[in-house]
Amino acid sequence: MSAVVSEEHQSERLDVFIPSVGEGMLSRSKTQALIVEGRVTVNGKVVDKPSYKVKPGDVVLVRVPPVEKKEIKAEEIPLDIIYEDEDVIVVDKPRGMVVHPAAGHWEGTLVNALLGYYPEIEGVGRGDRPGIVHRLDKDTTGLILVAKNERALAALQRQMKTRAIKREYIVLCRGSFKEDLGTVNAPLGRHPRDRKRMAVIKDVGSGKGREAVTDWQVINRFGSDYTLIKANLRTGRTHQIRVHMSYIGHPVVGDPVYGHKTAMSEVKGQLLHAFRLGLFLGEDYDQYKEFTAPLPDDFRQILLQLEHKYGEEIPSWVIE
């Protein structure tokens, strides 16, 4: 990859500049390693110091070694299948399961499990994520949609693009929401300093932020400490609900990236559950269906504790 330094990056460290223009391709630590290895040049000369300060007009070239492709293995991993027909599979994903193989997670992913359950899915869509229509973060639980063939994948991707698919989440957030419902309309993009994180990008004209809209509605308030909400995605950006809730001052409980430490020692990840999924199925994809997945037991138990402590009755549809 190559880039020309603009005025806004004046005197920026080389190991900061490269990730900022790389659209998430390289983390800062990976960039530092490439610089030390002599894989980065500035104006045609090798620069091996990550602290080198760039200047406007500098031409930076990074020679990234090719990534060794690993074979994605089929594995016999139990799947909680909510619905299946000849075209789609709707899976209730557990906490801790990565959706598709990537560096550090070549085994034990949802894709490994799908290949073991339905080998014919290999080759549907992208090679590293066959059949995957959308993603959930590793510690986000709930419903995820999988296409079993190319025709289904194309149809479901169209529904995603036209926002015909309904995705509703149950979320426990910190603090007390003042209003009963609302919308967060804040574009998201890669964090300018930490490329593994997302952030609200206010300067839409920069081209670094993409439209992101989340509707939310309060289900329960637990004093001034916590609020249980349902959130609906109009768009599907990486970490969207987590970033949006943190942005409005109500981070998701248990979120290790966008939240803060919680007194709930039993929380092992963000309390964010993909509860409802609505989409059009059938031969002509004109039959609307909705699916729901119950809260995972750890999330449910925490809500029952809050219900008891604060005397706030949680609707039966949430905890049953």
Residues 297-309 pLDDT 10s: 999 999 999 999 9
Average pLDDT, the chain: 91
Rounded Cα gap, residues 274 and 166, in angstroms = 11
pLDDT in tens, 265-290: 567 889 999 999 999 999 999 999 99
CB proximity list for 18: less than 8 A, separation 6 or greater: 3, 26, 31, 40, 60, 62
Q: Is the pLDDT of residue 217 over 90?
A: yes
User: What does pTM read for this prediction?
Assistant: 0.79
pLDDT in tens, 234-251: 998 999 999 999 999 999
Q: What angle do CA 26, 32, 37 make, to 5 degrees?
A: 110
Rounded Cα gap, residues 18 and 60, in angstroms = 8
Q: Where in the chain is the domain with CATH 3.30.2350.10?
A: 81-161, 166-319
- Residue 187 DSSP one-character state: -
Q: Are 79 and 91 in contact (CB under 8 A)?
A: yes
Q: Which residues pair with 287 in a beta bridge?
A: 281
Over residues 49-69, mean pLDDT: 87
Q: Is the pLDDT of residue 207 over 90?
A: no
The answer as to CATH 3.30.2350.10 being correct for domain 81-161 is: yes
Q: Is the pLDDT of residue 134 over 90?
A: yes
Q: Is the pLDDT of residue 205 over 60?
A: no
Question: Of 58, 92, 137, 139, which residue is the catalytic one?
Answer: 137
Minimum mean pLDDT range among 7-21, 166-180, 300-314: 7-21
DSSP class per residue in 76-87: -----EEEE-SS
Q: Is the pLDDT of residue 107 over 90?
A: no
Using CB atoms within 10 Å of the CB of residue 257, give its burial: 0 to 12 exposed, 13 to 18 middle, 19+ buried.
middle
CA atoms within 13 A of residue 212's CA, in its CB half-sphere: 27
pLDDT for res 214 = 97
**Among 147, 129, 24, 168, which Cα is nearest to 84's?**
147
CATH among 3.10.290.10, 2.40.10.340, 2.40.40.20, 3.90.25.10 for 2-62? 3.10.290.10
pLDDT for res 264 = 67
Minimum mean pLDDT range among 204-208, 224-228, 268-272: 204-208
**Among 275, 264, 185, which Cα is nearest to 226's?**
264
Over residues 176-181, mean pLDDT: 96
For residues 49, 197, 236, 227, the Cα torsion angle rounded to the nearest 10 degrees is: -170
pLDDT for res 138 = 93
Q: What percent of the chain has pLDDT over 70?
A: 94
The question of whether 128 is a catalytic residue gets the answer no
Class of 166-319 per CATH?
alpha beta
pLDDT for res 210 = 86
